[in-house]
């Protein structure tokens, strides 16, 4: 497979310098970049890694760099560094680090909390984890990362160069792309290019990109004269404890007079091999790999004489070597008088390492973790906006600001941490997955305490206390900057309820027996909320039916209708008895011969939905296997059930269809289910265009991968569209391969996927990441759950076989309509699914509403205390008390250029007017994406009225610091 390049020339730099000497007359200039790849999770927990080796990395590197001025090191995964800095570093270490950073010999790369995954992470969370890391680095050292080192994420997203450019990065480095594409790019010297990530932003946010060659981020571990670990003289990290004598397994043969020439010959040969794949005479030679440099003295004391020997014989070798940071390498490329090819808004997904090793399984691995991570992110967003509004309105209020910020920071840390490329991907061991879940759930509980504290505040609100079991007061908060009318759902224990708003007026509601338990009931309430606004509701319960003196307001008691359970083997004739379920947008027809969905009336689209499963091979001797990472289909998918039951509950607010799928005909318990909620419309207030579906799957049989298959009459030619990180949609054309065609046509779906033909578009939006594909015309299948075991020694040794026996309950919203109609819907629907109303109590502020094509990406109090003026910040003492008054605001334009005739237009708003509902804006500063740079002074290498009035163009993300006038109450 070879992806074509756009034949457009773009200059990587703004100011090129000419050089009189050609590269052919120069020795190869080699930049030896010492680094240690330290996964924030994966096989071992963070605590285990810190104890076994990670703390030693920064301690020993700091000491060794201080001994020789030519030594260098790059620090990438910030979580380990921050833990070391706060818990292990001595005052002497801290002084040395500050000096090394000042001299540029210790360089922070990426600067985020982790090296985040690019396939299944959401835009919000990528920005969060970078902002957390950048704030720490700038507050502590006054430095702002300029380069990326994304060497290990499993594929590369076109969103990443956009975000990194917005953050002020000058160059970007990736590694994992399809093996056959990388081979072609190597042969044609096309591993370096200018990447234009967004078709709407074009040259505004393009970035120079370097793809690692076939050796990736690791130094070759093999040397012909030794069976040990090549250039890793400190050997292999030892768990659970580092050896007291400093002798690690597999330590390499030392560099001596007898071995130096053999080492030099091996190193030079590898350098020359790499040099043949690039256009300049500069070679990036990464020195390091996973869990390296925990004994840096051994490393440098062997590499120093080796490099000296090569440089002393550089004429014979044709190579010079020097320690370097990534910035020094890119600076050399920056000064080359070359024109670079442009790569358009293509990504590098999916990723394969061999014909049978498509890394598309992790799109669906550990569904529970993916769901909790997304819920935690949504809770954080809601809590950030609420606390920000509270601080502006009640700066001296009773909620302790330091306590509140600690709660928020704990959840920021947990959400950032799980974005690691062996975290949310589901490619970690079970104990590490448990660690991520524990950190997320503990931090979420802390934020719930914060929300409860805000609820209990004496804000002069007349909020009655709940002292009767038959009454419950709730406040529902809309965390979005849009007006919304929607349905919220409570699980209650009473069969009857009446709902009233804060004016005592009855509110439309519906109650019915729960699908989860015969002892509980689902209560649906129609709520209308302004942007960042909340309303109070009173629910009155009763064990009696509504009659006589018991008034139920506008609550409808819905009753279900059960249909006969049907066996698949009896489906001789279908489509004879169709049962309609209607609302003002759709007419759904359910087939009483199968209990499956038959069609949806939008130009009469035929459609079925059910569960299928791929059977995975678990024996490496029998063929390719599937694991945490890899999906290798062992044949076509087969139907995952043999019988279907159905219940329909007609309602006045929502009609619910419950379909239960039984694995075997005689099973008493169902294996899978689909619950479809069809909302009724209340005038034009409640949207009826989305069908809300929740699924239940598990425990699965071993070595099965279960998909929800939606088959329709759309003629999409097996082409689908999926989102890159919730930012932009990518066209995915089905391709045939000699091997593994099914798995290599799976793609990540973070928020959205759709198929379309000339007349119609079928859209799914999701509450968590999944794998998605179109394996047949009109078909859209979503992999929801996987349970696998295999006997590959590597997987068994690291416990990476994914024997996931959990029950998962993901949610998808489905929309069907014309291309033009759905274009204006799915972006907002995806965000509304992620940021559903929060049931919680709080003050009653005025609403804050943005235009329909803009999204409030962030409204928070970061707490970092640094001057907005870079020079002033560097002259002040760093890491002082948190700043509780500076508000971080991000606004994003949701639509692509030309996607919608109206919604794709640039939007001009006056932020002082827009924010008036929150407070009086005194100062507005535009910043880089993570806030550490003043946008007016931001100068990047590939540069492409009213102070409060801003224009936001399609797909732009604008970031501001806002200072509000103080209020006295």
Q: Could you tell me the CA-to-CA distances from 644 to 84, 124, 564, 672 in Å, in that order?
A: 56, 39, 9, 10
Specify whether the CB–CB gap between 858 and 888 falls below 8 A.
yes
What is the phi/psi pair of residue 332, to 5°?
A: -65, -40
Residue 260 CA to residue 250 CA, distance in Å, equals: 19
Q: Could you tell me the CA-to-CA distances from 755 to 26, 241, 323, 763, 774 in Å, in that order?
A: 54, 52, 51, 7, 8
Q: Which helix (H) or strand (E) holds 443?
A: helix 430-455
| Chain-centroid distance, C-alpha 39 | 17
DSSP string for residues in 855-903: EEEEEE--B----SSHHHHHHSPSS-S-BSSEEEEEEEE-S-TTSSTTT
Q: CB neighbours (10 Å) of residue 603?
A: 12
| Chain-centroid distance, C-alpha 24 | 44
Please work out, in degrees rounded to the nearest 5, the angle formed at the alpha carbon of residue 446 by the alpha carbons of 442 and 449: 140
Residue 503 CA to residue 918 CA, distance in Å, equals: 24
What is the phi/psi pair of residue 956, to 5°?
A: -75, 145
Residue 915 CA to residue 847 CA, distance in Å, equals: 9
DSSP state at residue 585: S
Specify whether the CB–CB gap between 790 and 619 falls below 8 A.
yes
Specify whether the CB–CB gap between 312 and 145 falls below 8 A.
no
Contacts of 518 (CB under 8 A, 6+ apart): none
Residue 755 CA to residue 770 CA, distance in Å, equals: 16
Specify whether the CB–CB gap between 722 and 772 falls below 8 A.
yes
Residue 484 CA to residue 701 CA, distance in Å, equals: 41
Specify whether the CB–CB gap between 781 and 718 falls below 8 A.
no
Strand pairing of 720-724 and 728-732? antiparallel
Return the active site residues: 152
Specify whether the CB–CB gap between 113 and 403 falls below 8 A.
no
Residue 168 CA to residue 182 CA, distance in Å, equals: 27
Residue 538 CA to residue 509 CA, distance in Å, equals: 12
Of 137, 174, 289, 153, the closest CA to residue 220 belongs to 289
Q: Is the peptide bond preceding residue 240 cis, with omega within 30 degrees of 0?
A: yes
Specify whether the CB–CB gap between 848 and 532 falls below 8 A.
yes
């Amino acid at each position: 497979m070879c992806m074509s390049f756009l034949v457009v020339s773009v200059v990587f730099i703004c100011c090129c310098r000419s050089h009189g000497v050609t590269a052919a007359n120069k020795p190869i200039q080699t930049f030896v970049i010492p680094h240690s790849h330290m996964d924030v999770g994966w096989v071992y927990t963070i605590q285990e890694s810190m104890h076994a080796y990670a703390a030693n990395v920064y301690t020993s590197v700091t000491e060794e760099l201080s001994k020789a001025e030519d030594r260098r090191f790059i620090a990438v995964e910030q979580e380990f560094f921050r833990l070391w800095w706060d818990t292990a570093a001595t005052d002497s270490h801290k002084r040395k680090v500050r000096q090394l950073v000042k001299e540029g010999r210790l360089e922070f790369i990426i600067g985020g909390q982790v090296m985040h995954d690019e396939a299944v992470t959401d835009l919000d969370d990528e920005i969060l984890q970078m902002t957390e890391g950048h704030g720490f680095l700038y507050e502590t050292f006054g430095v702002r990362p300029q380069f990326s080192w994304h060497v290990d994420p499993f594929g590369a997203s076109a969103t990443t160069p956009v975000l990194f450019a917005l953050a002020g990065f000058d160059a970007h480095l990736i590694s994992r792309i399809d093996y056959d594409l990388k081979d072609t790019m190597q042969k044609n010297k096309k591993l370096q290019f200018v990447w234009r990530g967004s078709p709407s932003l074009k040259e505004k946010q393009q970035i120079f990109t370097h793809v690692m060659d076939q050796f990736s981020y690791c130094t070759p571990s093999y040397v012909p004269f030794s069976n040990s670990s090549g250039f890793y003289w400190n050997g292999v990290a030892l768990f659970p404890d580092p050896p007291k004598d400093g002798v690690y397994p597999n330590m390499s043969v030392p560099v001596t007079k007898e071995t130096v020439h053999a080492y030099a010959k091996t190193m030079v040969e590898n350098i020359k091999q790499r040099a043949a794949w690039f256009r300049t005479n500069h070679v990036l030679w990464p020195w390091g790999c996973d869990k390296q440099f925990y004994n840096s003295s051994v490393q440098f004391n062997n590499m120093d004489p080796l490099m000296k020997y090569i440089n002393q014989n550089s004429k014979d070798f044709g190579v010079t070597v020097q320690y370097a940071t990534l910035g020094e390498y890119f600076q050399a490329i920056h000064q080359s008088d070359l024109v670079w090819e442009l790569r358009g808004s293509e990504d590098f997904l999916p990723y394969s390492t061999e014909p049978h090793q498509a890394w598309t399984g992790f799109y669906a691995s550990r569904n529970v973790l993916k769901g909790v991570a997304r819920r935690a992110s949504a809770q954080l967003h809601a809590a950030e906006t609420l606390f920000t509004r509270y601080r502006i309105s009640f700066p001296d209020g009773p909620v302790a600001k330091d306590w509140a910020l600690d709660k928020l920071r704990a959840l920021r840390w947990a959400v950032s941490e799980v974005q690691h490329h062996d975290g949310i991907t589901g490619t970690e061991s079970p104990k590490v997955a448990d660690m991520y879940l524990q950190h997320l759930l503990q931090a979420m509980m802390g934020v719930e305490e914060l929300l409860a504290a805000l609820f209990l505040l004496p804000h002069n609100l007349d909020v009655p206390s709940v002292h009767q079991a038959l009454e419950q007061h709730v406040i529902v908060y809309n965390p979005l900057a849009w007006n919304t009318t929607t349905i919220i759902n409570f699980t209650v224990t009473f069969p009857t309820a009446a709902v009233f708003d804060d004016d005592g007026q009855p509110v439309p509601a519906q109650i019915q027996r729960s699908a989860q338990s015969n002892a509980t009931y689902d209560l649906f309430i129609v709520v209308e909320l302004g942007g960042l606004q909340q309303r109070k509701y009173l629910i009155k319960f009763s064990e009696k039916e509504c009659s006589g003196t018991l008034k139920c307001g506008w609550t409808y008691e819905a009753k279900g209708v059960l249909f006969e359970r049907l066996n698949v083997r009896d489906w001789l004739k279908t489509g004879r008895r169709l049962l309609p379920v209607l609302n003002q947008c759709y007419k759904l027809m359910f087939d009483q011969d199968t209990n499956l969905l038959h069609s949806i009336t939008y130009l009469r689209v035929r459609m079925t939905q059910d569960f299928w499963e791929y059977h995975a091979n678990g024996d490496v001797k029998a063929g390719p296997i599937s694991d945490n990472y890899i999906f290798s289909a062992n044949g076509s998918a087969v139907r995952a059930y043999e019988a279907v039951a159905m219940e329909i509950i007609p309602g006045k607010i929502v009609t619910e269809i419950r379909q239960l799928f039984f694995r075997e005909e005689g099973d008493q318990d169902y294996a899978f289910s689909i619950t479809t909620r069809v909302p009724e419309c209340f005038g034009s207030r409640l949207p009826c265009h989305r069908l809300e579906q929740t699924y239940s799957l598990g425990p699965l049989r071993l070595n099965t991968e279960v998909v929800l298959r939606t088959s329709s009459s759309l003629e999409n030619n097996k082409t689908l569209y999926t989102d890159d990180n919730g930012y932009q949609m990518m066209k995915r054309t089905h391709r045939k391969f000699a091997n593994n065609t099914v798995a290599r046509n799976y793609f990540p779906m973070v928020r959205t996927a759709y198929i379309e033909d000339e007349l119609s578009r079928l859209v799914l939006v999701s509450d968590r990441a999944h794998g998605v594909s179109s394996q047949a015309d009109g078909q859209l299948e979503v992999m929801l759950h996987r349970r696998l075991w295999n006997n590959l020694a590597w997987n068994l040794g690291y416990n990476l076989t994914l024997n996931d026996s959990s029950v998962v309950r993901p949610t998808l919203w489905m929309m069907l309509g014309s291309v033009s109609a759905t274009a204006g819907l799915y972006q907002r629907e995806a965000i509304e699914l992620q940021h559903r109303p929060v049931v919680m109590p709080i003050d009653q502020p005025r609403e804050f509403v943005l235009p329909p094509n803009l999204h409030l990406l962030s409204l928070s109090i970061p707490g970092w205390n640094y001057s907005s003026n870079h020079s002033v910040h560097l002259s002040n003492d760093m890491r002082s008390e948190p700043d509780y008054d500076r508000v971080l605001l991000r606004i994003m334009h949701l639509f692509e250029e030309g996607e919608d005739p109206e919604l794709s237009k640039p939007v001009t708003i006056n932020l002082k007017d827009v924010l008036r509902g929150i407070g009086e804006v005194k100062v507005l500063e535009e910043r880089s994406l993570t806030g550490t740079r003043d946008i007016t002074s931001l100068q990047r290498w590939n540069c492409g009225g009213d102070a409060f009035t801003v224009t936001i163009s399609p797909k732009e993300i604008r970031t501001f610091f806002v200072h509000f006038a103080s209020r006295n109450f």
